[in-house]
């Protein structure tokens, strides 16, 4: 159906709809909160969307909406399929967005999106609330793992890839789903990394720093956007027409529909206190440009009352419904209300292989003093709770955590933890593997421990749940036992990190040091003077300066998904040459934050008096088993073509990520010390040199001026090309535009 035909059908439907039907179309109902009967009532009313409903329940709701509502308008089913269709136990579970960003490869993100779309569609669903386009600039924030890291450009390129993967060639295809760019905008920039509070920014800063990833979502054709909880200059984003209409639609060119985050509309009354009552909140949210209201069911009556009382024009509601109906017609839901996907594909071998490839590409080695790859060893001690904790390896937004996770649901095979990856390769190579958890990543509080240690519960169902939970109980601290297990090993692999209790919504962290007795465990193992590699299985960068300084090797896996453990083991045994690069910087201490590489200049002294100037590991860092050298950087200021010679100086083939940064020497606004503007991957054989050419654009050197316009100002610039954002890793040339 072409655009004009869609427009005509939308207008025909609108002309038939009552005020109540229009209001219902803008409501998204949380099935898991209200239950089956109430959901079916909403379907009869003509609700526009339902959240977190699967399988036969979704089919029943859809049939009710189409057969028992007056106009038979199909509903859209939304789900949080964040790194794979992870709320389905059978699905392929990919690395987190942050781990995926370590690949510095939009094609990996696109494949993750394509696989996820097929599996979500095969469940009969239409819409994922992904990708997160927020920037991860303060790693205390609980949702850092959901971002593509700290940089606008890298985040934008990964966003573009995953949106293309979700939506495919056409929204009406059986295996395509709607993407949702979230959280618009500045959600990750909340003060003190405290989730959902005030955001310290101006509209100019918003456009220069935070809009670019969202703009790339628009460029990719992203069908929906989700509004953020925060505020700008004391004005809630949910109620800000400039953000939602002027910037998003008029300037960025977005033509889909906007959905609020969970109860954003209600939060105007209960959290931000900018609306007197629900009716006031409904008017503010609707007039600002929110089309669909997630989980604030009171909005329905409130917006109807507001229109009838003359407090809001019905035309405002018409525009919201117009956006929603247009998308339903683009998806061809009136003809095919249920997505069919690819029957039998959920968790199929091809999809698991894609998750495995993504995990391998995400492994990021940050230090190696010659210990790796592991060769000529007869015994390896694998130590640490996170070496064998699949929930920590999966991270957030899987069937083990959200939103209907039974209390201690059993993890479903296939998956491979770090311990299991080493055991499999050890058996193959004749290497003995011993394992000891050492200590709990986060010891249980006494009241929870008492629940486990108390007598059996009288309720058999409750007792069965307790018994399942006990299987996932963190280990008791036993550092002497871990030391004894490792004492006769030729090498030690210590896996440290965090758990699901330490990240996600409502779980911002003030202290990024390793929790529990993990540092004590590291020091005890280090004292054995046995080669020691540390693997970080975590949701975010943690403060590990002592480990970075004294370990023999450091490998970052973040939340590597289904086969993250296998990828780590294979990389450390040398079965492949790791090529991951950091999308985010590692602080030396929580108090050193922020440490993102593209800071503004002018800080007196350039550092805290009791902290180093630089992060422990910087944006863009990552090494493999072959070093790369750079020479002969050239840049033509007329054609904007950069060239550089890159050489593999090692004895193994490897991938290098060639990174291009710029600095605007003098500008009308303060510019970052450097800013990523391009990158490309190059594969080189041992000893091979390639001349890498990178075509830049004039807009790569642009800024947002004080009038909030994006312009390129003539003047002097510096161009940097090299291995990471660190000054010592970059060649520099100067030019004028």
Query: For residue range 104-133, what is the model confidence (pLDDT) as tens digits?
Result: 999 999 999 999 999 999 999 999 999 999
CA distance 381 to 374: 12
Grouping H, G, I as helix, E, B as strand and the rest as coil, residue 636 is: strand
Residue 283 maps to which CATH number?
3.20.20.300
Mean pLDDT of 155-162: 98
Predicted pLDDT of residue 401 = 87
Mean pLDDT of 370-396: 97
Q: Is residue 617 part of a domain?
A: no
Which candidate, 78, 207, 81, 100, places its Cα nearest to that of 148?
A: 100
CA distance 383 to 391: 17
Of the candidate ranges 88-97, 415-424, 452-461, the one whose mean pLDDT is the lowest: 452-461
Q: For every residue of 25-71, which 3-state class applies, written as one string?
A: HCEEEEHHHHHHHHHHHHHHHCCCEEECCCHHHHHHHHHHHHHHCCC
Residue 145 a catalytic site member: no
Residue 464 neighbours by CB distance under 10 Å: 12
Of 57, 123, 175, 261, the catalytic one is 261
Residue 713 neighbours by CB distance under 10 Å: 16
Q: Per the structure, how many domains does the chain have?
A: 3
User: Could you tell me if 316 and 433 lie in one domain?
Assistant: no
What lies within 8 Å, CB to CB, of 35 at 6+ separation is none
- pLDDT at residue 716 is higher than 90: yes
Q: Is residue 318 part of a domain?
A: yes
**pLDDT per position as a tens digit, 282-319:** 999 999 999 999 999 999 999 999 999 999 999 999 99
Q: What distances in angstroms separate CA 659 from CA 153, 688, 726, one per listed residue?
A: 11, 19, 11
- pLDDT at residue 619 is higher than 70: yes
**pLDDT per position as a tens digit, 255-280:** 999 999 999 999 999 999 999 999 99
Predicted pLDDT of residue 727 = 97
Predicted pLDDT of residue 1 = 82
Q: Is residue 427 part of a domain?
A: yes
User: Could you tell me if 583 and 498 lie in one domain?
Assistant: yes
User: Could you tell me if 423 and 551 lie in one domain?
Assistant: yes
Q: What share of the chain is helix, strand, coil (3-state, %, to 5)?
A: 35, 20, 45
Q: Is residue 154 part of a domain?
A: yes
**pLDDT per position as a tens digit, 537-594:** 999 999 999 999 999 999 999 999 999 999 999 999 999 999 999 999 999 999 999 9
User: Could you tell me if 217 and 154 lie in one domain?
Assistant: yes
When comparing pLDDT for 485 and 505, which is higher?
Answer: 485
User: Could you tell me if 641 and 577 lie in one domain?
Assistant: no
CA distance 327 to 329: 5
Could you tell me what percent of the chain has a pLDDT over 90? Answer: 90
Residue 382 maps to which CATH number?
3.40.50.1700
Could you tell me what percent of the chain has a pLDDT over 70? Answer: 97
User: Could you tell me if 324 and 446 lie in one domain?
Assistant: no
User: pLDDT class for 469, splitting at 50, 70, 90?
Assistant: low
Mean pLDDT of 53-67: 93
Predicted pLDDT of residue 579 = 98
CB 148 within 8 A of CB 161: no
- Average pLDDT score, the chain: 95
- Boundary of a domain, candidates 571, 591, 611: 591
- pLDDT at residue 407 is higher than 80: no
Predicted pLDDT of residue 245 = 97
CB 539 within 8 A of CB 502: yes
When comparing pLDDT for 459 and 385, which is higher?
Answer: 385
**pLDDT per position as a tens digit, 431-460:** 999 999 999 999 887 766 766 677 777 777
User: Could you tell me if 553 and 640 lie in one domain?
Assistant: no
Domain that holds residue 288: 23-330
User: Could you tell me if 544 and 679 lie in one domain?
Assistant: no
Q: What distances in angstroms separate CA 92 from CA 81, 160, 288, 398, 678, one per listed residue?
A: 11, 21, 38, 10, 31
Q: Is residue 509 part of a domain?
A: yes
Q: Using alpha carbons only, what angle is made at residue 295 by residues 290 and 296, rounded to the nearest 5 degrees?
A: 70
User: Could you tell me if 65 and 196 lie in one domain?
Assistant: yes
User: Could you tell me if 530 and 653 lie in one domain?
Assistant: no
User: Could you tell me if 583 and 635 lie in one domain?
Assistant: no
**pLDDT per position as a tens digit, 333-348:** 999 999 999 999 999 9
Q: Is residue 7 part of a domain?
A: no
Q: Write down the pTM of the prediction.
A: 0.96
User: Could you tell me if 252 and 395 lie in one domain?
Assistant: no
Residue 727 maps to which CATH number?
2.60.40.10
Q: Is residue 430 part of a domain?
A: yes
């Amino acid at each position: 159906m072409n655009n004009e035909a869609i427009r005509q059908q939308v207008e025909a439907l609108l002309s038939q709809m009552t005020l109540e039907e229009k209001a219902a179309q803008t409501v998204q109902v949380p099935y898991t909160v209200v239950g089956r009967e109430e959901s079916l009532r909403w379907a009869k009313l003509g609700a526009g969307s339902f959240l977190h409903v699967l399988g036969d329940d979704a089919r029943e709701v859809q049939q009710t909406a189409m057969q028992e509502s007056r106009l038979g308008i199909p509903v859209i089913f939304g789900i949080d399929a964040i790194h794979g269709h992870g709320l389905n136990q059978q699905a392929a579970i990919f690395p987190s967005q942050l781990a995926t960003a370590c690949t510095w490869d939009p094609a990996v993100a696109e494949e993750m999106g394509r696989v996820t779309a097929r599996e979500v569609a095969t469940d009969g669903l239409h819409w994922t609330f992904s990708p997160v386009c927020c920037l991860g600039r303060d790693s205390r924030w609980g949702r850092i793992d959901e971002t593509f890291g700290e940089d606008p450009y890298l985040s934008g390129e990964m966003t573009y890839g995953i949106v293309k993967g979700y939506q495919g060639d056409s929204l009406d295809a059986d295996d395509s789903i709607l993407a949702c760019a979230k959280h618009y905008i500045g959600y990750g920039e909340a003060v003190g990394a405290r989730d959902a509070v005030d955001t310290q920014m101006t509209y100019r800063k918003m456009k220069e720093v935070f809009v670019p990833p969202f703009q790339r979502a628009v460029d990719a054709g992203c069908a929906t956007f989700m509004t953020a909880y925060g505020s700008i200059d004391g004005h809630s984003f949910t109620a800000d027409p400039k953000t939602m209409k002027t910037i998003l639609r008029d300037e960025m060119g977005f033509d889909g529909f906007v959905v609020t985050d969970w109860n954003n509309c209600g939060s105007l009354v209960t959290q931000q206190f900018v609306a007197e009552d629900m009716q006031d909140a409904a008017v503010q949210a609707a007039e600002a440009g929110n089309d669909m209201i997630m989980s604030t069911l009171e909005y329905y009556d409130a917006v109807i009352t507001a229109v009838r009382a003359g407090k809001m024009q019905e035309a405002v509601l018409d525009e919201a419904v117009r956006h929603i109906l247009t998308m339903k017609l683009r998806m061809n839901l009136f003809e095919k209300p249920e997505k069919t996907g690819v029957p039998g594909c959920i968790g199929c071998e091809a999809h698991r292989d894609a998750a495995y490839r993504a995990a391998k590409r995400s492994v990021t080695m940050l230090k190696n003093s010659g210990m790796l790859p592991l060769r000529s060893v007869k015994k390896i001690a694998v130590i640490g709770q996170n070496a064998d904790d699949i929930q920590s390896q999966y991270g957030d937004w899987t069937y083990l955590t959200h939103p209907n996770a039974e209390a201690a649901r059993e993890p479903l095979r296939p998956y491979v933890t770090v311990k299991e990856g080493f055991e499999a390769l050890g058996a193959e190579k004749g290497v003995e593997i011993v394992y000891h958890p050492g200590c709990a990543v986060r010891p249980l509080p006494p009241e929870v421990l008492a629940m486990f240690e108390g007598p059996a519960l009288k309720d058999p169902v409750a007792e069965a749940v307790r018994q399942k939970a006990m299987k996932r109980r963190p280990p008791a601290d036993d550092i002497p036992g871990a030391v004894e297990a490792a004492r006769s090993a030729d090498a030690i692999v210590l896996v440290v990190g965090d758990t699901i209790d330490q990240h996600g919504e409502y779980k911002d962290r003030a202290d990024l040091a390793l929790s529990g007795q993990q540092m004590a465990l590291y020091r005890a193992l280090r004292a054995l003077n046995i080669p020691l590699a540390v693997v970080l299985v975590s949701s975010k960068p943690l403060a590990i300066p002592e480990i970075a300084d004294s370990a023999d090797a450091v490998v970052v896996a973040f939340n590597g998904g289904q086969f993250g453990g296998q990828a780590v083991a294979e990389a450390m045994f040398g079965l492949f040459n790791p090529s991951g690069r950091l999308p985010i910087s590692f602080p030396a201490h929580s108090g050193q934050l922020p440490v993102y590489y593209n800071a503004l200049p002018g800080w007196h002294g350039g550092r805290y008096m009791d902290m180093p100037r630089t992060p422990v590991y910087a944006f863009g860092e990552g090494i493999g088993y072959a070093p790369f050298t750079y020479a002969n950087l050239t840049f033509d200021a007329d054609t904007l073509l950069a060239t550089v010679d890159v050489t593999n100086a090692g004895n193994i083939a490897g991938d290098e990520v060639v990174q291009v940064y710029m600095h605007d020497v003098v500008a009308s606004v303060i510019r970052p010390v450097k800013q990523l503007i391009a990158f490309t991957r190059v594969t080189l054989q041992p000893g091979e040199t390639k001349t890498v050419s990178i075509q830049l654009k004039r807009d790569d050197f642009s800024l947002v001026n004080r009038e909030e316009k994006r312009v390129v100002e003539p003047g002097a610039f510096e161009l940097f090309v090299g291995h990471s954002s660190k000054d010592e890793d970059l060649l520099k040339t100067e030019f004028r535009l």
